[in-house]
Structure 1
Amino acid sequence: MEYKDEIGVIGIDDAPFNKFDKEALIIGTYMRGNKIVDEIYFKKIEKDGFDSTEKILKIVKDKHFTKINAIFLDGVTFGGFNIADIVKIYDETKIPVIVIIERKPDLLKIKSALKKHFFEFPEKIEMIESFPNPEPFENIVIQYIGISFEDACKIIKKTRLRSKIPECLRISHIVGRGFLNID
């Protein structure tokens, strides 16, 4: 499939937080292609909670909903271990979800951390195991649902500028880091 230069995409990342915080912030950047930012969204989520999926859906279903061709997530965990259910996000929006990961996740390490720190770990592990397997693409790893590997790669290439990740995710990350400097 061919994609226009100004394809509508949204990238969602979380802001840094400290271990004493009860909440974390997620940032969504809606862009056309890799140059035009049309909206930046902010939602609070419960650190290590279960509400990131619901908050991501609220961001996606806002005023640019009909123009979004792909949802990019920086990993599947936000605010610690608040896991975004990418299957549910796709099922409720019918918009392809593409997860960008720096390197292939160590599932054994993740499961061990969940068992050690969370009473509700079986539910979180079950969710992670329901996701598609991560696959390498150039110098990142991706998980995707609602789209082919080839089309996911085309959209990534179309929406990045000078980075290995889509510009909408890079901007969400930069905005999130900015919250570290608030006095």
Structure 2
Amino acid sequence: MNIKDEIGVIGIDDAPFDKNDKEAILIGTYCRGNRIIDGIYFKRIKRDGMDSTEKIIEMVMGKHKTKINVIFLDGVTFGGFNITNLYEVNEKTGIPVVAVIDRMPNRQKMMDALKKHFDDYEERISLLKSFPEPENIEGIYVQYVGIKRELLNLIIKKTRLKSKIPECLRISHLIGRGFLDLITERNEG
């Protein structure tokens, strides 16, 4: 299997937010391979809402849609417990979706928190349970839809630079960390 060095991928993460914020910001970085950044995207989502799926689909269906081969997500939750439906993103975009997690998640702890804080916890728990079990590929845990393990393994290798995770996801994370200063300024002001 041969994959070009400049394979198009997008990495999506959220910016840190304050506990009083009603919204969070999704950050998408479109890269070709592991070195060329060709687009940065932002979308607002409701903190603890259920709109991350539609906002990710909107982001992916933009300018670079025809060039994106894989959508990498930083986990399955954004803006607190705004859970992204991996299957729906894959179905509506036609692009494989891969949730990257740095360590095996404690699903029971997540489900307990959902029961404690959300009226619609049954729907959220059902969605979490529907996702594939995390698998270790190349030193990271992934949950993936719409792609075979062997191909994903090759794409992860092609899209990393100096980190275990694909560069597009690392860059989105770095951009998100830059928002911390704004949160700190707002809270001090």
Q: Fold match, TM over 0.5?
A: yes
Residue equivalent to 2:115: 115
The residue type paired with residue 36 of structure 1 is I
After superposition, the C-alpha distances for 1:70-124 in whole angstroms (9 at most, x for unaligned) are: 0000000000000010000001111111111011111111100000011111111
> For the residues of structure 1 that align with 2:149 and 2:124, how far apart are their CA atoms?
25
Residue equivalent to 1:140: 140
- The alignment yields a C-alpha RMSD, in angstroms, of 0.8
The residue type paired with residue 6 of structure 1 is E
Aligned to 2:58, the other structure's residue is in SS state helix
> For the residues of structure 2 that align with 1:78 and 1:173, how far apart are their CA atoms?
12
> For the residues of structure 1 that align with 2:110 and 2:167, how far apart are their CA atoms?
28
- The structural deviation recorded for 1:169 is 0.2
Task: Spell out the pairing of 1:166-181 with structure 2 (5 A cutoff).
Answer: 166-181=166-181
After superposition, the C-alpha distances for 1:108-154 in whole angstroms (9 at most, x for unaligned) are: 11100000011111111111111111101232101111111111111
> For the residues of structure 2 that align with 1:2 and 1:124, how far apart are their CA atoms?
38
The residue type paired with residue 88 of structure 1 is E
Aligned to 1:24, the other structure's residue is in SS state strand
Q: Does 1:129 align with 2:124?
A: no
- Bigger shift: 147-156 or 44-53? 147-156
Task: Spell out the pairing of 1:21-170 with structure 2 (5 A cutoff).
Answer: 21-170=21-170
> For the residues of structure 2 that align with 1:108 and 1:72, how far apart are their CA atoms?
24
> For the residues of structure 1 that align with 2:157 and 2:99, how far apart are their CA atoms?
14
> For the residues of structure 1 that align with 2:147 and 2:181, how far apart are their CA atoms?
38
> For the residues of structure 2 that align with 1:43 and 1:169, how far apart are their CA atoms?
16
Identity fraction in percent: 62
> For the residues of structure 2 that align with 1:56 and 1:33, how far apart are their CA atoms?
20
- The structural deviation recorded for 1:22 is 0.5
> For the residues of structure 2 that align with 1:36 and 1:145, how far apart are their CA atoms?
25
Residue equivalent to 2:9: 9
How many residue pairs match? The answer is 183
Aligned to 2:63, the other structure's residue is in SS state coil
Aligned to 1:98, the other structure's residue is in SS state strand
